[in-house]
Amino acid sequence: MALLEIKNLCVSVDDNAILDNINLNIGRGETHVLMGPNGAGKSTLGNALMGNPAYKITSGNIYFNGLDIKEESADKRAKAGMFMSFQNPLEVPGINLSSFIRNAIAVQTGQKIRFSQFRQDLAKNMELLNFDPSYKDRDLNVGFSGGEKKKAEILQLLMLKPKFAILDETDSGLDVDAVRTVSEGIREYQKYEDGALLIITHSTRILESLHVDRTHILVKGRIAESGDGSLVEKINENGFEKYLD
Amino acid sequence: MEKERTEVNDIDRSIYDFKDSEEDFYRVKEGLTPAIVDQISKEKHDPEWMRQFRQKSLEIYEKLRVPDWGPDISGLNMDDIVTYVRPNTKMSAKWEEVPEDIRNTFERLGIPQAERESLAGVGAQYDSELVYHNVKDEVSKTGVVYTDMESALTGEYEQMVKDHFMKLVPPSDHKFAALHGAVWSGGSFVYVPPGVKLDIPLQSYFRLNAAGAGQFEHTLIIVSEGADLHFIEGCSAPKYNVANLHAGCVELYVGKNARLRYSTIENWSKNMYNLNTKRAICEEGASIEWVSGSFGSHVSYLYPSSILKGDDSHAEFTGITFAGRGQNLDTGAKMFHMGKNTSSFINTKSISKDGGISTYRSSVTVMPGAENAKASVSCASLMLDDISRSDTIPAMDIRTDKADIGHEAKIGRISDDAVFYLMSRGISEEEAKAMIVSGFADPVSKELPLEYAVEMNNLIRLEMKGAIG
């Protein structure tokens, strides 16, 4: 049984049908890549999977760990082991990054982790991401640059250790060095047993140093082609033109 | 996916909503007549000048009109309001001597505990009279006077009271100031001698327990040259089905190079008409800092004012207002720049939900002589749903071109994306919204003493609770 099973999924936003009959299985520990031109519906799939109420599932099902989660709210999905790195992480004044992560771990696991342990893990992961440690005491994403926001997302991924993570355009707006650090963080996450990924991207830079199990090409709300990791290279050479007729 | 329906429930205010019986209490008849005012004066053993002051105020009250520029207060009928309710006890400096039910009330509100932990002195008013008053010895030794208004009025500070009482807020100021002048009772008198700096705060707590009653406490604080004081005021009342009225008056005199910080958390029940008047006057180089949290009440009119009379004086107002269902809270601040090089900062946050209306109203006046005045106003509102309202009415009257004036207003709705973002980390919808609201309120919480910041966050959580279906 796959960790995530998407069956005949149709999603609309503001009564506009965006995704049409998506079928996709992601197994434990697998890394899948979702590529496609702008406006294809990639982020819609991410949001629908994570339970954003603005994205309405009109038909089809989502099973996570064998359970139908279609009706569950985002916080329940997170507690079940899902995570999404946001394309545009939101600024939340009044709570600092460190307390926020600690709080999220506490609500997800139902227990408080020891502060010394937490601080150690946090410092280690921030170092891995080449993330200025003073940011842990700053309000969540407030005044962070684009790159720092993405690092904060990957930091949360590493700290929360979900079973499955959606990375929505994590590489967009990052310079070459930042892409390298962020993808180092992602590789670290892959090392966890069962750490599955759906990487949504329209470029291939972030994938260069990552192992990819499956690649899916999303065009106009449908999966136009699926293949193994080598499909990424073909897209790299030829773009999406052949799907756009 | 079907979005969960958001349903509106009244919040659980049980920590504040308990009520005590008041069978043995002395209360005057409802309504307002010269005879009732004389009766209050007699009960309180006023000096003759005060009796006359009350009658004069009543005359003014009769002549003034109910304000028609703010929230509707037609539900308030003065013929139904009991203006004086005296608990059946004498004021005590020993906590054990306060009658048990009243003691329980304040204990549930955490007052004696706060006193033990972090305060230099405490006064607790129950209905119309102070029932408990205590100042730490080391504070009394510095010459600081902190007493109830009644004692101040008949003791060695009578002349000082007479020179200052309702001079800053005269009864002619507005109808409810006149009412206050006629029926005031209770409140605090504080005098800080020159150069004395108190490093821990004084506090008074006002509790209105009686149904259909009014509370009209008077706070008079005189901070002398070079002195420094932090005064904290807390207010609450249980909920009744009849209208209650709070028309207190706060007068703050801040002397040359003195500093006063005045912090308030008002948490009245939602049947309360809160028509409170607060004003401060600053001499040369003086500074007044207001921190104000307005929760509860059915209708509020509250605009603490600062008169920057002396050169180089300074005023700051930091406030937060939270209006829920059935509440219309009209709050803000007023700044009058008279002296040169004066500066004022207003920073407010208002939150409205479940159809609540919150209006920010302020005025900044810079007089022609107030050269190099600097004023800045920043107000932000957050609406938690589509049925709530938030308005911003900032007035500015700048009569010199040598002034530096800034204004910034932000009105926004709680962001669904931000709620979803927090929920995607496992945080429940209710908690996510509370986090966003607390974060919005954070700049104000930071200004409060720690235990009040905690109380304010609890109030926000209380208000947010039950908001999700």
Enter the DSSP assignment of B192. E
CA-CA distance, B204 to B212, in Å (whole number)?
23
Chain B residues with CB under 8 Å of A150 CB are none
| Phi, psi dihedral angles at B41 (to 5 degrees) | -60, -40
CB contact under 8 A, A104 and B429: no
**DSSP, residue by residue, chain A:** --SEEEEEEEEEETTEEEEEEEEEEE-TT-EEEEE--TTSSHHHHHHHHHT-TTEEEEEEEEEETTEE-TTS-HHHHHHHTEEEE-SSPPPEEEEEHHHHHHHHHHHHHSSPPPHHHHHHHHHHHHHHTT--GGGGGSEETTT--HHHHHHHHHHHHHHH--SEEEEESTTTT--HHHHHHHHHHHHHHHHSTT-EEEEE-SSSGGGTTS--SEEEEEETTEEEEEE-THHHHHHHHHTTGGG--
CB contact under 8 A, B440 and A94: yes
Inform me whether the pLDDT recorded for B1 exceeds 60.
no
Quick count: other Cβ atoms within 10 Å of Cβ B194? 14
- How many inter-chain contacts (A to B, CB under 8 Å) are there? 85
Inform me whether the pLDDT recorded for B92 exceeds 80.
no
Does any domain span residue A182?
Answer: yes
Confidence of residue B201 (pLDDT cuts 50, 70, 90): confident
Closest-CA distance, B290 to chain A, in angstroms, reads 21
Chain B residues with CB under 8 Å of A50 CB are 420, 424
Confidence of residue B9 (pLDDT cuts 50, 70, 90): very low
Closest-CA distance, A80 to chain B, in angstroms, reads 9
Inform me whether the pLDDT recorded for B464 exceeds 90.
no
Does any domain span residue A171?
Answer: yes
Contact residues of B toward A, CB < 8 A = 1-4, 415-418, 420-429, 431-432, 435-436, 438-442
Give how far Cα B289 sits from Cα of B234, B317, B318, B393, Å: 16, 6, 8, 22
Confidence of residue B467 (pLDDT cuts 50, 70, 90): very low
HSE, side-chain direction, 13 A CA sphere, residue B153 = 22
Inform me whether the pLDDT recorded for B373 exceeds 90.
yes
Predicted local confidence at residue B159, as pLDDT: 95
Does any domain span residue A107?
Answer: no
CB contact under 8 A, A52 and B420: yes
Closest-CA distance, A78 to chain B, in angstroms, reads 5
CB contact under 8 A, A90 and B427: no
Nearest to B245 by CA among B85, B89, B78: B78
The pLDDT > 70 percentage for chain A reads 99
Task: Provide mean pLDDT across the span A216-228.
Answer: 94
CB contact under 8 A, A51 and B424: yes
Does any domain span residue A104?
Answer: no
- Range of the structural domain that residue A32 is part of: 4-90+163-243
Nearest to A170 by CA among A46, A28, A12, A73: A46
Best of B1, B4, B447 to disrupt the A interface (most A CBs within 10 Å) is B1
Which residue among A50, A78, A92 sits closest to B418, beta carbon to beta carbon? A92
Chain B residues with CB under 8 Å of A95 CB are 435, 438-439
Inform me whether the pLDDT recorded for B168 exceeds 60.
yes
Does any domain span residue A46?
Answer: yes
Given strand B228-236, what is the order of strands in its sheet? B129-135, B121-126, B202-207, B228-236, B259-268, B287-296, B314-323, B343-352, B373-383, B403-413
Task: Provide mean pLDDT across the span B76-93.
Answer: 78
Contact residues of A toward B, CB < 8 A = 50-57, 70-71, 73-75, 77-79, 83-84, 86, 89-95, 100, 103-104, 107-108, 139, 156, 160
Closest-CA distance, A8 to chain B, in angstroms, reads 15
Task: Provide mean pLDDT across the span B367-386.
Answer: 94
Over residues A111-138, the pLDDT tens digits come to 878 889 999 999 999 999 999 999 999 9
Q: Please, are residues B13 and B459 in contact by the beta-carbon 8 Å criterion? A: no
Over residues B282-329, the pLDDT tens digits come to 999 999 999 998 888 899 999 999 999 999 999 999 999 999 899 999
Task: Provide mean pLDDT across the span B199-226.
Answer: 85
CB contact under 8 A, B439 and A93: yes
Does any domain span residue A119?
Answer: no
Q: Are strands A55-64 and A4-13 parallel, antiparallel or unpaired?
A: antiparallel
Tokens of B382: 């957050």
- Please name the residue of chain B whose CA is at the shortest distance from the CA of residue A108: B426
Which residues have C-beta within 8 Å of that of residue B188, sequence separation ≥ 6?
B123, B130, B146, B147, B148, B149, B204, B217, B219, B220, B221
Chain B residues with CB under 8 Å of A166 CB are none
Which residue among B416, B426, B435 sits closest to A108, beta carbon to beta carbon? B426
Domain count, chain A: 1
Predicted local confidence at residue B85, as pLDDT: 81
Confidence of residue B466 (pLDDT cuts 50, 70, 90): low
User: What is the reported pTM?
Assistant: 0.82
B298 alpha carbon, distance to own chain's centre: 14
Confidence of residue B447 (pLDDT cuts 50, 70, 90): confident
Predicted local confidence at residue B356, as pLDDT: 94
Predicted local confidence at residue B5, as pLDDT: 33
Give how far Cα B118 sits from Cα of B133, B249, B395, Å: 16, 26, 38
CB contact under 8 A, B429 and A108: no
Over residues A39-76, the pLDDT tens digits come to 899 999 999 999 999 999 999 999 999 999 999 999 99
Which of A188-197, B63-72, B148-157 comes out lowest in average pLDDT? A188-197
Over residues B96-151, the pLDDT tens digits come to 777 777 677 667 666 666 666 666 677 777 777 777 777 777 888 899 998 889 88
Over residues A165-175, the pLDDT tens digits come to 999 999 888 88
Closest-CA distance, A93 to chain B, in angstroms, reads 5
Predicted local confidence at residue B109, as pLDDT: 65
Chain B residues with CB under 8 Å of A84 CB are 424
The CATH number of whichever domain residue A174 belongs to comes to: 3.40.50.300
Predicted local confidence at residue B6, as pLDDT: 32
Chain A residues with CB under 8 Å of B410 CB are none
Enter the DSSP assignment of B108. H
- Please name the residue of chain A whose CA is at the shortest distance from the CA of residue B446: A94
CB contact under 8 A, A93 and B440: yes
Nearest to A217 by CA among A24, A85, A86, A33: A33
Give how far Cα B56 sits from Cα of B77, B411, B444, Å: 21, 44, 40
Tokens of B63: 């002549």
Question: What's the mean per-residue pLDDT of chain B?
Answer: 86
Does any domain span residue A124?
Answer: no
Nearest to B447 by CA among B364, B327, B349, B311: B349
Over residues B16-70, the pLDDT tens digits come to 666 666 666 778 878 789 999 999 999 889 999 999 999 999 999 999 999 989 9
Does any domain span residue A132?
Answer: no
The pLDDT > 90 percentage for chain B reads 54
Inform me whether the pLDDT recorded for B3 exceeds 50.
no
